[in-house]
Amino acid sequence: MTKRIPSLRLRNDFPSNPSRQRGDGDGDDSDSDKQRRRLRRRRVQKAAMDVSRRKKWVAWVAAITIFVVLMLVTPAIPQNEDYHDFADQRLLFLGIPNTLNVISNIPFFFVGVAGLILCHYKNYFRLNSQGELWSWTLFFAGVTAVAFGSSYYHLKPNDATLVWDRLPMTIAFTSIMAIFIIERVDERAGTKSLAPLVFAGALSIMFFDDLRPYAVIQFVPCIAIPVMAIVIPPMYTHSSYWLWAAGFYLLAKVEEAEDKPIYELTHQIVSGHTLKHLCAAMVPVFLALMLAKRTIEPERVSLFQQWKVKLVSVRESHRFNKDRNTVDYNYIAVSTTPEQ
């Protein structure tokens, strides 16, 4: 026992952890360094958030400024009464006036209802945020409402019933813009922009004597969405479905403009406006297929970059094949040379 006591005293006099002997100064230094790094990281994150917030405000201000300037420098566009004079005004069956223009809206109902069910049934579309869920729900609700609003309008086409034709389409257009902002720009900004965009779209319908606000709401997405789909890296796969949807909508607008020529060209079987409804119904079909197939994009690469890579690979393969054919030709030429 007398021998163990000194050894214990030695261990207490010379502890194994030298930092304890020196005190807590170094520990305080390490904690202060961690705190400084934490504060520095918070400052950097706050600065990045401030820059992002500033960019969003600049984008909104620029958009509003462009809209105001367009409204000031362009003349008013009144609603033309000839718009209601469609080529096909036949009453074919069931006592339904403008029969084909009315019943050609039925596909909107089935596609819209299917989209609404799949949005909420066990999250079949794998939507990752509330903003996406609300936006896609509004989109498919607008598509469903198109079946009723457009049918009601075509039963008796006039300015009063035209409101119910355009209002559901406007809800769908503005919801799509919010979806694109969520997926391609910023999730929070896109979610917050959903209600203002839908409200602005509904407000544009109120201008009966001036179609400029409605034209902006309708045609800006037609230009912005394909450009954004090509240039901005996507969050999900199957991004090319956006271009298919945009292509069918463009075709629908051409058929709408050529309503009477198409009716004459088909020997008064079907009009351009009826075909417009059928082509426009393909837009939510392609978007629903995209939602069902897509997954999270592991490497966010824009379609433009993908096309560049494919173009380079095609050029390289073409050059390789050309060089190989040249080598084969030279080999044949050498092998067929007679020996001297």
Most confident residue range from 26-35, 39-48, 87-96, 259-268: 259-268
Domains of the chain, earliest start first: 95-303 (1.20.1070)
**DSSP type of residue 118:** H
Q: How far apart are CA 284 and CA 248, in angstroms?
A: 10
Token readout for 156 is: 């008796």
Angle at alpha carbon of residue 191, lines to 190 and 193, rounded to 5°: 65
Q: Which residues contact 250 (CB under 8 A, 6 or more apart)?
A: 222
Q: How far apart are CA 79 and CA 81, in angstroms?
A: 6
Q: How far apart are CA 206 and CA 282, in angstroms?
A: 28
Q: Is residue 209 scored above 70 in pLDDT?
A: yes
Region 311-335 average pLDDT: 68
Percent of the chain with pLDDT over 90: 42
pLDDT grade, residue 85 (50/70/90)?
Answer: very high
Model pLDDT, residue 78: 81
Three-class SS state of 288: helix
Q: Which backbone phi and psi does 296 adopt, to 5 degrees?
A: -65, 130
Q: How far apart are CA 321 and CA 201, in angstroms?
A: 54
175 contacts 139 by C-beta, under 8 angstroms: yes
Half-sphere exposure of 335 (CA within 13 A, CB side): 6
Model pLDDT, residue 332: 57
Q: What is the mean pLDDT of the chain?
A: 82
Q: How far apart are CA 142 and CA 146, in angstroms?
A: 6
Global pTM reads: 0.75
Q: How far apart are CA 323 and CA 325, in angstroms?
A: 5
**Higher local confidence (pLDDT), 26 or 184:** 184
Q: Which residues partner with 236 through β-bridges?
A: 296
Q: How far apart are CA 221 and CA 287, in angstroms?
A: 15
Q: How far apart are CA 9 and CA 198, in angstroms?
A: 80
Three-class SS state of 181: helix
261 contacts 335 by C-beta, under 8 angstroms: no
**Higher local confidence (pLDDT), 170 or 69:** 170
Match 């809800």 to its residue by tokens.
171
Q: Is residue 22 scored above 50 in pLDDT?
A: no
Region 16-37 average pLDDT: 58
Question: What letter represents residue 188's amino acid?
Answer: R
Angle at alpha carbon of residue 85, lines to 79 and 91, rounded to 5°: 140
pLDDT grade, residue 12 (50/70/90)?
Answer: very low
Q: How far apart are CA 80 and CA 78, in angstroms?
A: 6
Token readout for 169 is: 């389409």
Q: Which residues partner with 9 through β-bridges?
A: none
Q: Is residue 50 scored above 90 in pLDDT?
A: no
Model pLDDT, residue 336: 54
Number of residues assigned to the chain: 340
**Higher local confidence (pLDDT), 290 or 302:** 290
pLDDT in tens, 140-161: 999 999 999 999 999 999 988 9
Model pLDDT, residue 124: 93
Q: How far apart are CA 133 and CA 293, in angstroms?
A: 17
Q: How far apart are CA 253 and CA 107, in angstroms?
A: 17
Q: How far apart are CA 248 and CA 285, in angstroms?
A: 10
